[in-house]
Amino acid sequence: MPKPLDPKCQLCSKLPTTQAKLVHGPQGDGCWNPKVCHNRRSFYRRRSESYSAEIDAIAVEPPATYFAVLYLYKEPGDKPLHAMSAELWLGQKPVCRLDPIHCFGLTAGKIRAYTDQVGSNAIL
């Protein structure tokens, strides 16, 4: 199992060499080792660049399935339905949109029949 990455070395690799020697050299915390640090800094820089490139290169396409969104317009509480509209989507793209219709005077059965009609037409 590989040795875990040292967060101190990761931060040091982002600094310019002269600044890293000042911070981690004899005047700093004393961890600078000229035999190891140049290669290690290069490793950490390249690893972080290639690691981020791999993450950015991976793209997962969302499934292209149809779904409908029903919008109901009403005031909060026990109030009657004011209006309704719907949208049909395929994956991340809208296919069609029905403008809102007012529901005043429509019974629950007529509203249900309208939503069923919208659903069946959307499938066609």
Q: What is the pLDDT at residue 84?
A: 92
Q: What is the pLDDT at residue 83?
A: 93
pTM, 2 dp? 0.46
CA distance 109 to 118: 14
Would you say the C-alpha torsion 14, 17, 19, 22 has a positive or negative sign? Answer: positive
Walk along the chain (124 residues) in steps of 10 and give the mean pLDDT of each run: 79 86 85 86 74 58 82 89 89 88 88 81 62
Q: Which residues on neighbouring strands pair with residue 87, listed in sequence order? A: 69, 97
Burial of 21 (0-12, 13-18, 19+ CB in 10 A): middle
pLDDT tens by residue, 72-100? 999 998 888 899 998 888 888 898 898 99
